[in-house]
Amino acid sequence: MTVTTLDFSSDNHAGVHADVLTAISAANDGYQPAYGGDSTTERLRAAAIRQFGEGTEIFPVFNGTAANVVALQSMLPRWGAVITSAVAHINTDEGGAPEKVAGIKMLGVPTPDGKLTPDLIDREAWGWGDEHRSQPAVVSLTQTTEFGTVYTPEELAAVCEHVHALGMTVHMDGSRISNAAASLGLPLQTCTREVGIDVLSFGGTKNGAMCAEAVVVLNPGAAQGLPYLRKFDMQLASKMRFISAQLLALLDDDLYLRNARHANDMAQRLRTGIEAGLTFGAIRDVAFAQPTDANAVFAELPDGVADRLRKYAAFHSWPGSPNLVRWMCSFATTPDEVDAFLEAIADVTGSR
């Protein structure tokens, strides 16, 4: 086959969706009040209520790390701790921002598939009243998880009920919540508010936006001081309309869902193609490490295969195993790109 450079590294590597660029341009229309007083941000607030239900408040920020840090700060007392999966982004991939910026103690729990359960949460949900222990106050879930798996509504409801009964609240890192909603075939409200999520970090950048994320408050009683914390953490945009325009473009006409559904479909096309290749012998010795619930395919490769495959495509190896790799699809991934990558996998594994 002709050697081509493909990219299955991250949905962050994709560009900006054309409709989002159009929305940014449309917002560049004359003078508007700063710091969220503009008409675009007001329309975003209305769209958030339509998508997540009455009482929803939305606070646009620049990036996902900030959304998580600001959200968790608003939910915790100074002495509070967060229970989360050991592989959660807030625990492994945010440069210590929750600890260094917000002063939050993270209590990581090992999980085989990235999902927390009531039993797993109970491993760290203890010690209240003990002045020597950071007080567990929030459980943070990631949807989709770092392993690309998706919590079902039943799983989320069970976790939220358990956590609330213990007197804690629930945060969701939803950098890929759109992919989860597309995978489940359910509205955002059903995946969040209705199962008991208190505060959500809503992701836009991985799903077609340029630099737009948000803290979405579903339970006002669970968050305090968000307007001040957003400013304090340097996330209050003066020309907020240009961030809001991106989120509005995603939410207003369900672009978030169409983009996510396409990314998920491309990951399923990749997995199905590998499964077919394994069945008929065109692809050899590739094993799947996790279910492909959304837009990520995790696979174990034989020694040396990952390096040979990188002549055709960019992708990440995953910490913990030298041969575990992650292949990510995005709204911009095309069927032809997936098929070219399948051909490369067949060429490399079939010639071993």
Residue-wise pLDDT tens digits, 295-347: 999 999 999 999 999 999 999 999 888 899 999 999 999 999 999 999 999 99
pLDDT tens digits, 141-162:
999 999 999 999 999 999 999 9
Tell me if 278 sits within 8 A of 284, measured CB to CB.
yes
Confidence category of residue 2, pLDDT binned at 50, 70, 90 = very low
Look at residues 6, 2, 53 and name the one whose alpha carbon lies nearest to residue 310: 6
Q: What is the pLDDT of residues 73-106, one digit of tens each?
A: 999 999 999 999 999 999 999 999 999 999 999 9
Which pLDDT value is given to residue 329?
Answer: 98
> What is the token pair recorded at 157?
């409801």
Q: At 234, which amino acid appears? A: M
Over the chain, what is the mean pLDDT? 96
Q: Residue 134 burial by CB count (10 A; 0-12/13-18/19+): exposed, middle or buried? A: middle
d(CA 174, CA 51): 14
3-class DSSP state of 33: coil
Residue 29 to residue 56: CA distance in whole angstroms: 27
Return the closest-CA partner of residue 296 out of 140, 136, 113. 113
Coil vs helix vs strand at 38: coil
Q: Is the previous residue joined to 144 through a cis bond, with omega within 30 degrees of 0?
A: yes
Sign of the dihedral through C-alpha 331, 335, 336, 337: positive
Domains and CATH numbers, the chain: 6-13+257-350 (3.90.1150.10), 18-253 (3.40.640.10)
**DSSP secondary structure, 236-269, as one string:** --TTTHHHHHHHHHHHHTSHHHHHHHHHHHHHHH
Closest CA to 47 of 298, 321, 301, 244: 244
Return the beta strands (E) in the chain as ranges: 6-7, 57-61, 80-85, 105-109, 135-142, 169-174, 199-203, 213-217, 287-288, 296-300, 313-314, 316-317, 324-328
4 band by pLDDT with thresholds 50, 70 and 90? low
Residue 180 tokens read as 């989860």
User: For position 351, what pLDDT does the model report?
Assistant: 60
How far is Cα 270 from Cα 297, in angstroms, rounded to an integer? 8
Over residues 43-60, the mean pLDDT reads 98
pTM to 2 decimal places: 0.96
**Averaged pLDDT for residues 201-228:** 97
- pLDDT of 3 strictly over 50: no
